[in-house]
Amino acid sequence: MTTENGNNAPNYTITCRMNHEAAALERLCQVVRIRGFRIAKMAVETTDGVLDIALTVQGTRPVTMLQSQLEKLHTVAEVLLTTPVLAPAASRTA
């Protein structure tokens, strides 16, 4: 897959459910950026104090690492990776 910048970083689709608290979206977006991904597409719906977020992110790092970091956020209830991941997670297996 190719990004609009011509990068060859793969795209991943993630759905995320989190509490609608102050800075909830900023917190999510910051984790995506710090862990080495960029947001290509984002859709948000709010229902009864809960945010449902559909994200398409691009990055060359293992996406399972991003998933586990998002799951760690206290306000995040669920993170689902809807793109199948074939490669092993980290850089080396020991």
> Would you say 64 or 83 has its CB closer to other proteins?
64
**Residues 5-64, interacting with other proteins (CB under 8 A):** 21-23, 26-27, 30, 34, 62, 64
Residue in 52, 58, 47, 51 with CA at minimum distance from that of residue 83: 58
Return contacts of 86-93, CB within 8 angstroms, 24+ apart. Answer: 87/62, 88/62, 89/62, 89/64, 89/65, 90/62, 90/65
Per rule CB under 8 A, count of chain residues that contact other proteins: 24
Q: Which residues bind other proteins (CB under 8 A)?
A: 21-23, 26-27, 30, 34, 62, 64-65, 68-69, 71-75, 88-94
